[in-house]
Amino acid sequence: MPRTKNVLAFVMAGGEGSRLHPLTAERCKPAVPFNGKHRIVDFVLSNLVNSEIYSIYLLVQYKSQSLIEHIRQSWTMTRFIPQHFVTVVPPQMQNGPEWFQGTADAVFQNIHLIEEFRPDIVAVFGADHIYRMDVRQMLEFHQAHDAHVSVATLPVRLAECNQFGIVQTDGGGRITQFMEKPATAQPMPGSSTHALASMGNYLFNADMLLDALKRAKAQGQNDFGRDILPSMLQSHRLLAYDFATNEIPGAAPYEEHGYWRDVGTIDAYFQAHFDTLGATPRFRMTNRQWPIYASPDQAESAQIENGIIHRSVVGSGSIVDGARLDHAMLRRSVTVERDAQLSHCIIMERSRIGQGAQVRRAIIDQDNDIPPGERIGLDPATDRQRFHVTDSGIVVVPRGYFPPLQQLSPTPLATRRPALPAAGASRWANA
């Protein structure tokens, strides 16, 4: 097993997540809640900590306060190993009055952290995915093959290539071409339907990363996938690490091997939740040998007075009183009143579903008091007048759209829909 004490990790947590709006109206993408009590960022941080990589800088940018508070409350490294850290790093503008202009620029603006730490290897990982990964196995691959850069990869359908960095390799796994989100791509060897995609997780030999960052800055280049990796192909050994070979201790035989989801859209985010439900889920949230750490939970136990509940999660502090739940995901302190019906829903913190309300194929963001008898997800035309609705019909109710009844404004509901955000300032921010 490789020495992990000389690995420094940068987690790219600055994504605006415009495709997840309105869930990202007041928070960045890595801070978006997931499942019963997690946030998206918890997956990459748990993978690093479980892999004995404890020196982690989290680079933030867009609407980061919620994420900063989550890290402060949940990721104090004294819980694990006191001498190591998870530290949030906002844009410090040491090289001028500008925000991070891309993933590589974000690391370059903090190049002094690498120079001071003096690691052997720098891990640059994304913060937007749902998966388990033993990074030590990728490190072992990197060192055993004398790689200068290793890129974690997996197959994706050809129709999805425009959403990923696509790599082509020779017979020995060396990367011969790296294309960032191409419109079309050649299939990978042995397949006519899939191409090999980057997961956005990289290992760099530290000295070579420093040189590449400085050259990129001099040439006005700001992005790993678009600029740095393609420019290193001729002069360095870039290898594709096959994520399918990664073995996780404690994984159940019924789980999808190599489960990884980019939850950058409402539809993907919604579906990933239901991959965790049931007695034999595709992705089991509970794994004592490879836990996904969550924020400390001070809420009381959930209380179920009565009702009919099928394949659902009821978070701590929640109350279900005579309701019907079918594929419902309740986070903390949610109240579902008598005769309410929830079907294929995600209900976030401190929300209340009023008596007799019906909610179907919807995401209810936190702090919503759904009125008694309300119908959401049953009338597409009406829903589109009030809410964001995806092409597949998933309804998203923004945070606080329905305030507590005693605080309701006389303003008609249809005028209270929040405006879509303006385009972000950088390619990274719009990821």
What Å distances lie between residue 230 and 89, 142, 177, 430, CA to CA? 27, 19, 7, 21
Q: Could you give the CA distance from residue 66 to residue 44 in angstroms, rounded to a whole number?
A: 17
List all residues 6 or more positions away from 307 whose beta carbon is below 8 Å from its beta carbon: 320, 321, 322, 323, 324, 325, 336
Q: Which amino acid is at 50?
A: N
First-last CA distance in the chain:
34
Residues 6+ apart with CB under 8 A from 32: 17, 20, 23, 24, 39, 40, 263, 269
Amino acid at 147: A
Phi-psi region of 172 (alpha: psi -120 to 50; beta: other; left: phi over 0): alpha
Per-residue tokens: 420: 């879509």
Annotated binding site: 165, 180-181, 198
- Kindly report the number of other CB atoms within 10 A of residue 308's CB atom: 11
Sequence-ordered list of residues with C-beta below 8 angstroms from that of 131, at least 6 positions apart, any chain: 43, 47, 259, 260, 261
Nearest alpha-carbon partner for 324 in 294, 293, 355: 355
Angle at which helices 41-50 and 65-74 pack, to 10 degrees?
40
Q: Dihedral, CA atoms, 127, 129, 133, 139, nearest 10 degrees? A: -50
- Per the annotation, where are the binding residues for alpha-D-glucose 1-phosphate? 165, 180-181, 198
In this structure, the strands spanning 341-347 and 375-376 are unpaired
Cis preceding linkage at 22, omega within 30:
yes
Which two three-digit tokens encode residue 349?
């913190």
CA distance 70 to 13: 13
CA 205 to chain centre: 25
